[in-house]
Amino acid sequence: MSGLGHQPMLIRYLHCPELMGRMMERTGVNPTEAARVDGGLAWLEARTKCIYCHHVGKCWNWLEGADTRTPPADFCRNTEFFRSCTEYSSAHI
């Protein structure tokens, strides 16, 4: 899976949402809350960033080996979105 970054767009389109879901789970993001941010536009932007990401292999490797207490990897273009989602969820508990 580490070579996924060089695969055709269809393959990336199919696998990247799975990686985004795993990244959200790892970072403690509630998908329901995330989908509500900015009327769903932030979710669509984050998903699009994931689909067109050039670091899919790095993401996959990070998810496979990262300690669950570590923050999102520096290469993730959705780090700020994930952080804002967890802060929003914490503030509204």
Model confidence pLDDT, tens digit, residues 1-55: 444 545 566 666 666 788 899 989 888 899 998 998 899 999 999 999 998 888 8
Q: What is the pTM of this model?
A: 0.73
- Looking at residue 67, its pLDDT comes to 62
Domain spans of the chain, in order of start: 2-91
- Looking at residue 2, its pLDDT comes to 47
Asked if residues 58 and 64 have their Cβ atoms less than 8 Å apart, the reply is no
Q: Which residue, among 42, 73, 39, 41, has the nearest Cα to 59 in the 3D structure?
A: 73
How many CA atoms lie less than 13 Å away from 16 in the CB half-sphere?
A: 25
Contact partners, residue 82, CB within 8 Å, separation at least 6:
23, 24, 27, 29, 72, 76
C-alpha torsion angle, residues 85, 86, 90, 93 (rounded to 10): 60
- Looking at residue 74, its pLDDT comes to 77
